[in-house]
Amino acid sequence: MYNIIQLSSGVCASEGFFADGVSAGLKPNGANDMAFIYSEDECEIASIFTTNKMTAAPIRHFRAKGEFKTNFVMINAKNANAMTGTKGIADIDEILNALTALHVEIINPVMSSTGVIGVRIPKEKIINGTKLFNLNTKNPHGAAKAIMTTDSFSKEIAFKVELEDGSSFNIGAMAKGAGMINPAMATMLCFITTDARASKQVMQEILDEAIKTTFNAASVDGDTSTNDTVMVLSNGKSGAFNKEAFKDALHKIMLFLAKEMVRDGEGATKLVTYHVTGAKNDAEAQKVAKALSDSLLVKTALYGEDPNWGRIASTVGASGVEAYEETLSISFDELCVYDKGELLFNDAMEEKAAKVMKQNQFTISCDLGISDGSFTSYGCDLGHEYVRINADYRS
């Protein structure tokens, strides 16, 4: 037995972690655009990176280091340092050398970037930015805000986990999302800190499992970026650990952040949960859930608050899995609109269904009626704001 208690904090909820955001002049409006997470003790690191083959320089740099511990992660917005080749990696070396020369307590720093692809990172600005870092600051909210790109709100959460023996540990996290969110992998930046006594191996195992039903079940636009990163840093400062409790808390943190990211999807006005059941197996259910959360025709119908269940049925049929018109059922929240070949839809039902769709959050359930495979995914609508944001993101 254990208790999980939510804290109103972010990455500094874990003992011994410091964080802040500063402005290095990368965002044209002068908003903070660089953040750090510093731990007074060295941390074990578990991580998952993008499956995109055009892996950004920070990820290549991280991987090239092999096995290591760190006490510092630096993040910048506005420039992804992707498609920048060996020069992009050399830029990171130069930046991190300047950083450690300035702040001697930093060991093996890690850099993480998000923003435009295919532009050299502005080294001087970033090095000047590192001069503003005060490592004794606990301003997790400032850090979470600084890493935002097209996000409209910052994404943070933290839990205290009380174990049966009276000991406890903390987990805190921040993330940025907005565009290029896709179940192919983490597809955003997410930094999780903990003072639990968790080894890299155990954390990695739990992270690999938790990602399947959280970040990998979230879709904004079906694109997978070059920089996607989830990192868990543990400094062990609490001395406490329990695998089940840690797993539970980490899953809660990641699910919360995954849903927050979809809710804040570029231009999104609705967070829709796709609950697929009755599929041949879980993998087929996942295929359907992903097809639904990616379908442009479904997403635009959501935006128009149009209970066009025919598009849901068509998308199920197009997803490539075993499915039959005669066994399929579709519901909007508790309202069943199509039941195993029975056309239930009429004007009265349309009115009720439209009411469900006017909500900011609701569930679309598809029972394929074949076997017991199930999966739940999270998607949003696609409206004019998405087009506006993405038709000219770079400027």
Least distance to a second copy, CB of residue 282, Å: 19
**Neighbouring residues of 28: CB distance < 8 A, sequence distance ≥ 6:** none
- Nearest alpha carbon to residue 48 among 315, 231, 314, 277: 231
Give the shortest CB-221-to-a second copy separation in angstroms: 4
Q: Which residues contact 53 (CB under 8 A, 6 or more apart)?
A: none
CA separation for the pair 156, 77 (Å, rounded): 17
Q: Which of 62, 241, 338, 378 binds a second copy (CB under 8 A)?
A: 338
122 near a second copy, rule: CB under 8 A:
no
- Asked if 184 interacts with a second copy (CB under 8 A), we say yes
With beta carbons less than 8 A apart as the criterion, state whether 117 and 226 touch.
yes
> Stretches 19-27, 207-215, 305-313, 356-364: which one binds a second copy (CB under 8 A)?
305-313
Between residue 24 and residue 83, which ones bind a second copy under the rule CB under 8 A? 51-55, 80, 82-83
Site string for a second copy, 99-118 (x = CB under 8 A): -----------------xxx
Contact string 343-362 vs a second copy (x = CB under 8 A)? x-x-----------------
| x/- track of binding to a second copy for residues 207-226 (CB under 8 A) | --------------xxxxxx
Backbone angles phi, psi at 27, to 5 degrees: -80, 125
Of residues 205 and 223, the one with the C-beta less far from a second copy: 223
The stretch near a second copy (CB under 8 A) out of 100-108, 151-159, 268-276, 380-388 is: 380-388
> Catalytic annotation on 187?
yes
DSSP string, 290-321: HHHHH-HHHHHHHHTT---HHHHHHHHHHTSS
Is residue 119 part of the contact set for a second copy (CB under 8 A)? yes
**Considering the complex, what minimum distance in angstroms separates the CB of residue 393 from a second copy?**
7
Q: Which is nearer to a second copy, 55 or 194 (CB)?
A: 55
Distance set, CA 27 to CA 113, 178, 195 (Å): 13, 17, 32
**Residue 288 near a second copy by CB under 8 A:** no
Tokens 């001395």: give the residue: 239
Write down the least CB distance from residue 302 to a second copy, Å: 9
Q: DSSP of 317-358, one letter per residue?
A: HHTSS---TTT-EEEETTEEEEETTEE---HHHHHHHHHHHT
Among 70, 84, 187, 214, the one annotated catalytic: 187
In the set 5, 105, 324, 360, which binds a second copy (CB under 8 A)? Answer: 324
Residue 395 burial (10 A CB sphere; 0-12, 13-18, 19+) = exposed
Residue 27 structure tokens: 């965002």
What tokens appear for 247 in the block?
A: 């797993």
Query: Any contact of residue 326 with a second copy (CB under 8 A)?
Result: yes
Going by C-alpha positions, the residue among 298, 304, 289, 312 that lies closest to residue 354 is 304
Binding site for a second copy (CB under 8 A): 51-55, 80, 82-87, 116-120, 179-180, 182, 184, 221-226, 294-297, 300-301, 303-304, 306, 308-311, 313-318, 320-326, 328, 338, 341-343, 345, 382-384, 386-387, 390-395
Active site residues: 187
